[in-house]
Amino acid sequence: MPLIPLRPLLETVDKYHYAQGAFNVNAVAQAKAAIEVHEMFRSAAILQGADLANGFMGGRTDFQNATLEDKKIGAKNIANAVKKYAEDSPIPVVLHLDHGKNFDSCKAAIEGGYTSVMIDGSHHPIHDNIQMTKEVVEYAHARGVSVEAEVGTVGGNEDGVVGGIKYADLNECVRLVQEANVDALAPALGSVHGPYQGEPVLGFTEMEAIGKATNMPLVLHGGTGIPDEKIKKAIACGTCKINVNTECQLAFNKL
């Protein structure tokens, strides 16, 4: 079937109080495998391409220096691969841009065939974050594409996204949701990109408060390595989408 946006899938997830895994892919083989596994479980699938993964799939081996043109080519290549295996699949499939750096990166993904994008303005003051997000939302929603945004910063280092842990502020989360009209919110609350050094410490109290105050499906980044009991607790606090990248890459590197 055709690729679908993120919003209707998360509305279903939120209604029935579970969470959907979102798995990053950097190669055609990964996209094929991810869809096939979801078919086995008769589950919808969220596949993600990171901003720099688009550069890599555009032929840029030094993807840290990928240009916008590289990302445009790569976004189309990833989208074509996902569509190839999704069109004959009985399950719904979302293709989501992970950590889009700016409007142009999100636009390139949308033009390439992504049905959902994340604009990551979390490293900017909240006013600038909101303005960046609003610009992407206006462009994306006019084309039927969903938008995820982030407040606070996720720790660690993954696909060029580097940051120290900074908890999301509840009032800033409310402002962004109300002013930018996003479809999903990623409040940074102690998770990290890449492998954890010790036990993950997540802000469940803050997570629950943000979920209730915004009435918005929440996204948990840095899903690799979080114990099952904490995943379940995050779901109970309003988390509807859990991102997994590092575990996918580690498995792929063993092939």
147 to 31, 88, 91, 138, 140: CA distances (angstroms): 21, 26, 21, 10, 7
Helices (H) and strands (E) in the chain, counts: 10, 11
Owner of token pair 């994340």: 118
Say if CB 21 and CB 94 are below 8 A apart. Answer: no
What are residue 153's DSSP bridge partners?
A: 166
Q: Return the closest-CA partner of residue 10 out of 237, 227, 218.
A: 218
Instruction: List b or e across 21-31, with b for residues whose CB sees 16 or more CB atoms inside 10 angstroms.
Output: bbbbbbebebb
Closest residue by Cα to residue 226 from 207, 254, 211 = 207
Separation in Å, CA 231 to CA 191, 215, 225, 227, 235: 11, 20, 10, 6, 6
Report d(CA 115, CA 113) in Å as an integer: 6
DSSP conformation class of 64: G
Q: Which residues are catalytic?
A: 98
